[in-house]
C-alpha cells in the first residue's frame, strides 16, 4: 500500500496516474501546517493499494459485504487544541467525462478499487481560545482482515503552528460575499413542499453553511420564475431550474388583494440567526429574463418588464396571474410597506441580473421608483457600456470580471461616489479565473485575493445550489457554455444537509486570507500584504485579464499554493 500527505489543494483525476506516478504523489510523509486562531488548516491523505480494500475513518465495526477484504482504518492524533474533521473525498464527472475529486462525503467508509488513488480530507479548526504555539500530530494507518487484530501499516507526522492572530467571526468578515440562493431547487431535490416546516428545516442547514463563508445577503424571490428557468426549454435534456415566489397572493371576492409575506419574514429571520443580515436581495421585480417566442413573455400588457405575479382567486377557486398594471403597482407598494414596517428597508436591494439595453433598463427602474421610491437597486453588469452611462439610481455595482478589467481605472475613480458596494462576479465566463470542476484549485482561493488587489469590496456568484436533475451522478449541464461546477458550490446530502465541496473549502481559505490581510494592514503591516499580492499576481495592468489580451493563467497569477500559504507561514 502507498500512502502519504498532500496539501489541501490536491486534485485527482481518476485514471490519470500510472502506478509509478501514484507512488510518487504519495511520497510526501510529513507536512508543516499553519493557521490563525478562529481559523482552520487542512491537508489530504492520499492512499492506494495494489489490491482493492475497504477504507474507513470511523471506529465502528466494519465488514465487507462481498466477503474477505482488507479493512484499512485512518486515524488522526494531535496534541493541538483543535477540532479535527475527517472526510472521504468523492469524485464528480466533469464535462470531459473524467471523474475528478470535489465532493466531501458524509459516509465514513468506502470501497477503494485496486490502484485507485483515494483522497481523505483532514481539517484542523481552531477557536478564539486556541493557544498560539507549535503542535504535532500523526496520521496513523491500520489494517486487518475479518477477525484479525489490527496492525499498524505506518504513520505520517505533521506539525501545526497556531499564529497569534485572531480572525473575526464569519458574520463580521469584511469580505462582502454574495452567493445567490435557489431555494425552490432545494425543495425539489428533497421532495418537500415549498416554504413548509420541512423545507425551512433544510434551509436552516444550508444557511449555516453559507454563514461559515461570511455570506452577507439573503435571496428573496417575489415573482414567478424570474429567470424563466434559465431558459432550460432550449436544452435537449432540460433540467427543472424554476424559482418560485415566496409571496402568497390572494384576491378576494370584493376584488381586494391580500399578500402573505410570512415565508419572506421566516427566511430573513432564519438567516439573521446565522449573522447573514447585511442585505435582502429581491429577485423578480426588475429585468425578468424573457423568451416570448417560447411563451415566457410579459403577462402585464402595459408594463415595460416581464413580471409574473400568480394569485389565488377565491371567487372562482382558480389560480391566475396579474394582468393589470395597477394591481402590480399595488403589490410593489405593499412589498415596500412591509419592509418598512419590519425595519428592513435599508437592507433591501432590487436586483437586475445582466440587463442588456440601457434605455429599457432605465424605463423599468423608473416604473418601479414611481410606486416604490424607497427601494435601492443593485445591478450585475455584463456589458461595459452600462459603466459609461449615468446610473444614479444604482446603489451597488457588480460588474463581471472582464468589465472590471476593461474599465478598471474608471471604476476606481468612480468608487468613492458609489453609495453602496462595488463587487465583481464570474459566471459561465471567463474561462479563468473561475470555480469550475476543471479549474486549477488555487483559482477558488484567488477570488478574494483579486478583490484585495483591485480594491473591490467583495464577490458575487449565482451558483450555490443551482443543481441539474442528478448533480451527484451528472453535474455537467449545458456544456460547453456552462462548465461543470458553474452551478454549485455544494451538493444535496441525503440527510438534509449540504455536502461541501473542495471548491467551497478553497474559496473559504481565500476569504480567510483576505480577513488576515485586513488585520495586517490595521496593525501597520501593509507592506507584508503588498509582498503577498506581488508574489501571487504577475500582471502589470488589469486589462491583461481581458480576453483580447490573450494571456494565459500562468502569465496572470501563480498556480502554486505555496505562494499563497506564505502569507500565513511568514507571520
8-37 confidence digits (pLDDT tens): 999 999 999 999 999 999 999 999 999 999
Report pLDDT for 566: 98
Per residue in 276-295, pLDDT (tens digit) is 999 999 999 999 999 999 99
CA trace torsion 116, 476, 482, 489 (10° rounding): -70
Residues of the chain with CATH 2.60.40.10: 2-166
* Region 370-393 average pLDDT: 93
Read out DSSP for 507-558? HHHHHHHHHHHHHHHHTT-HHHHHHHHHHHB--SSGGGGSGGG---HHHHB-
Quick one: which of 322, 312, 202, 187 has its CA closest to 242? 187
Class of domain 2-166: mainly beta
Does the predicted model carry a pTM greater than 0.85?
A: yes
* Region 482-497 average pLDDT: 98
Distance CA 331, CA 303 (A): 14
Per residue in 190-204, pLDDT (tens digit) is 999 999 999 999 999
Distance CA 365, CA 11 (A): 45
Banded model confidence at residue 393, pLDDT cuts 50, 70, 90: confident
Q: Mean pLDDT of all residues in the chain?
A: 98
Per residue in 115-131, pLDDT (tens digit) is 999 999 999 999 999 99
% of the chain residues with pLDDT over 90: 98
Quick one: which of 53, 51, 71 has its CA closest to 62? 71
Distance CA 199, CA 86 (A): 28
Lateral strand order in the sheet of 31-37: 31-37, 151-166, 133-145, 70-78, 53-56, 109-112
* Region 49-61 average pLDDT: 98
Question: By three-state DSSP, how is residue 140 classified?
Answer: strand
Question: By three-state DSSP, how is residue 339 classified?
Answer: helix
Banded model confidence at residue 391, pLDDT cuts 50, 70, 90: confident
Amino acid at each position: 500500500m502507498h500512502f502519504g500527505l498532500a496539501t489541501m489543494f490536491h486534485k485527482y483525476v481518476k485514471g490519470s496516474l500510472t502506478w509509478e506516478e501514484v507512488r510518487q504523489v504519495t511520497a510526501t510523509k510529513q507536512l508543516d501546517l499553519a493557521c490563525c486562531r478562529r481559523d482552520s488548516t487542512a491537508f489530504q491523505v492520499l492512499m492506494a493499494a495494489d489490491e482493492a480494500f475497504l477504507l474507513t475513518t470511523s471506529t465502528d465495526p466494519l465488514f465487507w459485504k462481498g466477503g474477505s477484504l482488507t479493512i484499512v482504518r485512518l486515524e488522526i492524533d494531535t496534541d493541538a487544541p483543535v477540532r479535527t474533521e475527517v472526510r472521504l473525498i468523492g469524485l464528480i464527472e466533469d464535462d470531459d467525462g473524467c471523474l475528478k475529486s470535489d465532493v466531501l462525503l458524509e459516509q465514513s467508509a468506502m470501497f477503494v478499487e485496486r490502484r485507485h488513488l483515494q483522497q481523505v480530507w483532514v481539517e484542523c479548526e481552531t477557536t478564539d481560545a486556541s493557544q498560539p504555539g507549535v503542535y504535532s500530530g500523526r496520521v496513523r494507518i491500520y489494517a486487518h482482515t475479518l477477525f484479525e487484530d489490527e496492525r499498524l501499516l505506518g504513520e505520517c507526522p505533521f506539525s501545526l503552528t497556531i499564529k497569534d492572530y485572531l480572525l473575526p467571526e464569519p458574520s463580521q468578515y469584511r469580505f462582502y460575499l454574495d452567493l445567490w440562493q435557489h431555494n425552490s431547487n432545494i425543495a425539489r431535490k428533497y421532495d418537500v413542499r415549498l416554504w413548509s416546516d420541512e423545507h425551512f428545516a433544510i434551509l436552516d442547514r444550508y444557511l449555516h453553511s453559507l454563514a461559515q463563508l461570511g455570506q452577507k445577503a439573503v435571496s428573496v424571490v417575489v415573482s414567478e420564475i424570474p429567470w424563466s428557468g434559465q431558459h432550460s426549454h432550449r436544452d435537449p435534456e432540460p433540467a427543472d431550474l424554476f424559482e418560485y415566489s415566496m409571496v402568497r397572493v390572494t384576491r378576494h371576492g370584493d376584488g381586494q388583494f391580500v399578500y402573505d409575506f410570512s415565508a419572506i419574514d421566516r427566511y430573513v429571520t432564519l438567516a439573521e440567526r446565522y449573522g447573514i443580515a447585511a442585505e435582502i436581495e429581491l429577485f423578480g421585480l426588475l429585468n425578468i429574463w424573457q423568451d416570448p417566442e417560447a411563451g415566457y413573455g410579459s403577462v402585464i400588457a402595459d408594463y415595460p418588464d416581464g413580471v409574473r405575479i400568480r394569485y389565488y382567486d377565491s371567487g372562482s377557486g382558480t389560480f391566475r396571474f396579474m394582468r393589470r398594471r395597477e394591481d402590480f403597482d399595488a403589490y410593489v407598494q405593499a412589498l415596500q410597506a412591509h419592509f418598512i414596517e419590519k425595519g428592513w428597508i435599508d437592507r433591501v436591494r432590487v436586483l437586475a441580473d445582466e440587463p442588456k439595453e440601457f434605455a429599457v433598463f432605465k424605463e423599468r427602474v423608473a416604473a418601479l421608483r414611481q410606486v416604490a421610491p424607497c427601494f435601492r437597486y443593485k445591478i450585475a453588469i455584463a456589458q461595459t457600456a452600462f459603466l459609461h452611462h449615468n446610473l444614479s439610481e444604482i446603489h451597488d455595482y457588480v460588474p463581471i470580471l472582464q468589465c472590471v478589467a476593461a474599465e478598471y481605472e474608471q471604476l476606481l475613480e468612480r468608487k468613492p461616489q458609489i453609495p453602496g458596494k462595488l463587487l465583481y462576479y464570474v459566471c459561465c465566463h471567463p474561462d479563468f479565473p473561475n470555480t469550475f470542476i476543471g479549474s486549477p484549485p488555487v483559482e477558488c482561493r484567488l477570488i478574494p485575493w483579486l478583490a484585495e488587489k483591485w480594491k473591490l469590496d467583495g464577490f458575487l456568484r449565482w451558483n450555490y445550489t443551482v443543481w441539474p436533475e442528478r448533480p451527484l451522478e451528472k453535474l455537467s449541464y449545458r456544456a460547453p457554455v456552462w462548465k461543470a461546477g458553474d452551478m454549485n458550490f455544494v451538493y444535496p446530502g441525503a440527510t438534509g444537509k449540504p455536502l461541501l465541496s473542495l471548491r467551497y473549502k478553497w474559496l473559504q481559505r481565500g476569504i480567510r486570507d483576505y480577513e488576515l490581510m485586513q488585520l495586517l494592514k490595521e496593525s501597520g503591516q501593509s507592506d507584508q500584504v503588498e509582498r503577498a499580492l506581488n508574489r501571487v499576481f504577475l500582471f502589470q495592468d488589469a486589462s491583461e485579464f481581458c480576453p483580447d489580451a490573450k494571456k494565459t493563467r500562468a502569465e496572470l497569477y501563480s498556480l502554486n499554493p505555496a505562494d499563497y500559504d506564505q502569507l500565513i507561514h511568514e507571520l
